[in-house]
């Protein structure tokens, strides 16, 4: 079997090539996941790059990305497969019009036809298993599904095969690289956790967030990127309902570049804080912080 990554360093280089800046821990887990053929459970605050990691791995390896977006009420018909009932009904109606309903073997033939590949609607899980080409399967926000659906995921990820009563067992021709993301809205089962490698992605440190801004925001200078990273770090230290995510940091940096800002003062931060924070109570707390800060508040004494 051929592997996409020769070692941990090649993972970092590959992800860097698609503008995902992975630290040693992230790169190590991705490397082991491919070699051990085990899913990765990625937990952490919303907006820290969990979903983007799976997308970037797919881009770096040239694999096909298949995404299952989880939500409350997700069931087997949306995650695995279902039959095309409308098309089946049309086939029955066509057969009835074209042949004698009492014809010998007619209904048995119709039934055989109705539950064939022609009428099968594949959903992300089955699609990933059936694919002959390399696949990165992203099961996004797995903590939002019910226990029953989580059990289905566990069954699929244990054997990488699906039993379809009308067609038989479909086994994976190649093992997809699987990423499950969770925002910790509920505790996942121990069985699912045991099946996976674990990775926690937190907010990046100051230097890494600056690197991310420089890599992702066209036209941003090093000085502005540094100011953005420092202010966002300071804002996250306030007791907020929702701390700014990395994606919101990038949105804020893009906004400042668009406005032609080179130095962020308290007034500029106050005027654009709604890009960074999305709750009124959080904005009010941040505005108070800006108002009581020194004029050059983008360069605090503590930089670590």
- Per-residue tokens: 241: 């309902």
- Residue 50 is predicted with a pLDDT of 95
* Residue in the structure block whose two tokens are 């983007």: 52
- Per-residue tokens: 244: 């700014």
β-strands 197-200, 64-69 pairing = unpaired
β-strands 120-122, 177-182 pairing = unpaired
Q: Decide: helix, strand or coil at residue 94.
A: helix
- Residue 14 is predicted with a pLDDT of 96
pLDDT beyond 80 at 294: no
- Residue 89 is predicted with a pLDDT of 83
pLDDT beyond 70 at 298: no
pLDDT beyond 60 at 34: yes
Phi, then psi, of 123 in degrees rounded to 5: -110, 175
Q: Decide: helix, strand or coil at residue 139.
A: strand
Q: What is the largest CA-CA distance in the chain?
A: 90
Higher pLDDT, 40 or 113: 40
- Residue 291 is predicted with a pLDDT of 85
pLDDT beyond 80 at 230: yes
pLDDT in tens, 84-107: 888 878 877 777 776 554 555 555
% of the chain beyond a pLDDT of 70: 89
């Amino acid at each position: 079997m051929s592997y996409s990554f020769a070692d941990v360093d090649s993972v970092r280089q590959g992800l860097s090539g698609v503008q995902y800046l992975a630290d040693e821990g992230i790169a190590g887990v991705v490397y082991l996941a491919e070699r051990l053929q085990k899913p990765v459970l990625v937990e952490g605050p919303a907006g820290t790059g969990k979903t983007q990691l799976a997308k970037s791995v797919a881009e770096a390896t040239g694999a096909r990305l298949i995404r299952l977006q989880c939500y409350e009420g997700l069931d087997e018909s949306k995650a695995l497969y279902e039959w095309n009932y409308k098309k089946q009904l049309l086939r029955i109606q066509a057969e009835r019009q074209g042949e004698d309903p009492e014809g010998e073997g007619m209904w048995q033939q119709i039934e055989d036809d109705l539950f064939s590949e022609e009428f099968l609607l594949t959903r992300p899980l089955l699609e990933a298993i059936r694919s002959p080409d390399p696949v990165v399967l992203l099961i996004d926000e797995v903590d939002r599904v019910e226990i029953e659906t989580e059990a289905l995921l566990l069954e699929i990820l244990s054997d990488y095969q699906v039993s379809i009563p009308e067609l038989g067992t479909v086994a994976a021709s190649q093992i997809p690289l699987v990423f499950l993301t969770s925002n910790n809205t509920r505790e996942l089962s121990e069985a699912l956790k045991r099946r996976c490698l674990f990775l926690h992605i937190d907010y990046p440190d100051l230097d890494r967030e600056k690197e991310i801004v420089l890599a992702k925001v066209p036209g941003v200078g090093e000085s502005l990127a540094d100011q953005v990273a420092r202010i966002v770090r300071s804002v996250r230290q306030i007791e907020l309902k929702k701390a700014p995510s990395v994606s919101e940091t990038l949105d804020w940096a893009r906004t400042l570049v668009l406005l032609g800002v080179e130095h962020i003062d308290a007034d500029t931060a106050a005027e654009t804080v709604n890009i960074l924070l999305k709750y009124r109570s959080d904005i009010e707390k941040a505005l108070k912080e800006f108002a009581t800060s020194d004029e050059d508040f983008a360069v605090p004494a503590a930089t670590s």
